[in-house]
Amino acid sequence: MIIFTPRRIAGFAGILVVVAAVYSVPHVVAWNPGPRAGFWVLVVTASAALWYGWLTYLLLRRSQTPVLVASFEDGRTVIRNFGAGAALNVTCVTDTGSTIARTPDLAPNASHNVNAAIRWTVTESRYLFYQDVIGRWHGTKCLGQGITNAANIPVANVFLGRVFNPPSDARRAALARSAVEHWVQLNRPWDPRNWFRRIAYRVRKRRAETRILKLIRAAIADGRLGSSFSPNEVATAIELDKVVADRFLPNHVVGNAGGERALFIQEWSGRYRLK
Do 84 and 101 belong together in one domain? yes
Among 113, 144, 173, the domain boundary falls at 173
Do 95 and 184 belong together in one domain? no
Among 123, 153, 173, the domain boundary falls at 173
- pLDDT tens figures, 130-147: 999 888 999 999 998 876
Which domain, by its residues, includes 161? 65-173
- pLDDT tens figures, 49-89: 988 888 887 777 777 889 999 998 888 899 999 988 899 99
The mean of the pLDDT values for the chain is 84
Do 150 and 102 belong together in one domain? yes
Cβ atoms 127, 92 nearer than 8 A: yes
Q: pTM for this structure?
A: 0.58
Do 185 and 248 belong together in one domain? yes
Burial of residue 100 (CB within 10 Å: 0-12, 13-18, 19+) is middle
- Domain of 142, CATH number, reads 2.60.40
What residue type is 267 in one-letter code?
Answer: E
Instruction: Compute the residue count for the chain.
Output: 275
> Which element (helix H / strand E) includes 222?
helix 195-222
Count of the separate structural domains present in the chain: 2
**DSSP bridge pairs for 161:** 139
**DSSP bridge pairs for 111:** 80
d(C-alpha 228, C-alpha 244), whole Å: 18
Residue 86 forms part of a structural domain: yes
Do 198 and 253 belong together in one domain? yes
Among 173, 207, 229, the domain boundary falls at 173
Do 222 and 242 belong together in one domain? yes
